[in-house]
Chain A
């Protein structure tokens, strides 16, 4: 995902402090947005890293008084779209679970504690599958409107389309999501 980067200008304490504050205050939200968009932990990490590196490079272009989160969500949205375009046509295969690095022998990381797995499986699986069944455009708009609670105008700015497009994508996304949830087998 990493593209060749231009050399940085010499850093200033303000630039470093800006990045520090941005990561502290918005790192978690950005990572979760990337996770919801990509449905993939590795991609979410790459997207978050790349987005903050771009924030650092372009820090002077941030307008005080505007929403930082909208800005970084726009960066993540564009990076994700570009990445999918780049991958398009390439054969992709899910790596089986037991191919994952085995450094957690015995002690598993918190994110995959059995209790959490259980809760996630019980509560979230139908929703997770349904979300994965939406198109990228639908998922973007649905997450921004219903989870992040942005206005149609803000979503249009983040995604780069008209308000009318946001509205119609959202309507279709909700219709499709409901259909996908209802089509899943009910737990016995």
Chain B
């Protein structure tokens, strides 16, 4: 069956025709699932642009459908030669400089499932419209704009291969309309013949178990009740945002509740503990601010901002790609 669809696709390629575009929402849904059926190799460039500094990451990627991926880092220099192999829900981070292999298990088994369930939130908050077709890496692409229904602003541009429906490029814009992130695939080649050896692990490395992430759950009420303390939640969120997941994790024996809110593209995380464990910002350039008249500090990491403050023994951190003003407003609504 998979081979037949591959042949049909190739027949379309050979005839030189670009298929007529489906409705944009259908195309987006298909694009989200494309990696499960399309194998490819290429080079990915990721830019994250902040007011203070920007980061660029470049990696070569080999993906064999449905769920094997190897990313081999080329830049930044610190990561040169490191790689990450994903096999289903297990991720192996290969750190060549420290000669170690870090194994992480995603307890949720399938992030794609979560992404699929949040596709409804995306479509509820954004209008998907076509922009003129373009080319990326020599491939014809459909360009879909995701315009926020409340502000009218274009928040994301997605460039989708007209034949395979794989996402080849996407750009995300901040609330002031500036580009804050871009991911672009270069030198894409579709191939069904990626050898199994690509996804094998190198020998001779020390094996280390990675950080165990808490089991995320979409049952927010249950997560909040399992925190072991009375959690505070925001009374204000930007329009279209709703809770999508949460977990409770122990960091240095401090039970920490993590709630994540999203409108389908933008996300914001609220962390809280009641063990008087403050956020350590000593590795960052932290700037003083206030959250509802409480002294607070914030740091910017590319387009992501983290605001940390406390109320008695309760410590909070709010993280997201929203403006500082918006984050402070959410933060102020968390306090009783």
Contacts and interface: CB of A to CB of B under 8 A. Distances in A.
Interface of A: 24-25, 28-29, 115-116, 118-119, 122-123, 149
Nearest to B187: A149
A123 B60 CA distance: 23
Given A24-B77, A118-B204, A149-B60, 5 more contacts: A25-B75, A29-B80, A115-B204, A119-B203, A122-B204
B133 interface: no
A122 B203 contact: yes
A119 B100 CA distance: 13
Contacts of A118: 204
Interface in B161-203: 202-203
B77 A123 contact: no
A177 B80 CA distance: 27
A123 B204 contact: yes
The CB with the most chain A CB atoms within 10 A, among B60, B77, B203, is that of B77
A165 B29 CA distance: 47
Interface range on chain B: under 10, 10 to 19, 20 to 34, or 35 or more?
Answer: under 10
Interface string B74-114: 01010010000000000000000001000000000000000
B37 to A, nearest CB: 26
Contacts of B77: 24-25, 28
A116 B75 CA distance: 24
B204 A119 contact: yes
Interface of B: 60, 75, 77, 80, 99, 202-204
A65 to B, nearest CB: 15
A115 B99 contact: yes
Contacts of B204: 115, 118-119, 122-123
Contacts of B80: 28-29
Contacts of B75: 25
18 contacts: A24-B77, A25-B75, A25-B77, A28-B77, A28-B80, A29-B80, A115-B99, A115-B204, A116-B99, A118-B204, A119-B203, A119-B204, A122-B203, A122-B204, A123-B202, A123-B203, A123-B204, A149-B60
Contacts of B203: 119, 122-123
A149 B62 CA distance: 14
A29 B60 CA distance: 15
Contacts, number: 18
A119 B204 CA distance: 6
A187 B246 CA distance: 53
B163 to A, nearest CB: 23
A84 B99 CA distance: 35
A29 B58 CA distance: 15
A116 B60 CA distance: 25
Nearest to A29: B80
Nearest to A25: B77
A168 B80 CA distance: 31
Contacts of A116: 99
Contacts of A115: 99, 204
Contacts of A149: 60
B69 to A, nearest CB: 18
Contacts of B99: 115-116
A28 B80 CA distance: 9
A117 to B, nearest CB: 11
A71 B227 CA distance: 57
A25 B75 CA distance: 9
A113 to B, nearest CB: 9
Contacts of B60: 149
Nearest to B41: A149
A149 B58 CA distance: 15
Contacts of B202: 123
A35 to B, nearest CB: 13
Pairs A-B, 10 closest by C-beta atoms = A119-B204, A25-B77, A28-B80, A24-B77, A123-B203, A28-B77, A115-B204, A119-B203, A118-B204, A122-B203
A115 B203 CA distance: 11
Contacts of A29: 80
B155 to A, nearest CB: 31
Contacts of A25: 75, 77
Nearest to B206: A115
Nearest to A151: B187
A115 B77 CA distance: 24
B152 to A, nearest CB: 36
A62 B213 CA distance: 47
A123 B96 CA distance: 15
Nearest to B81: A28
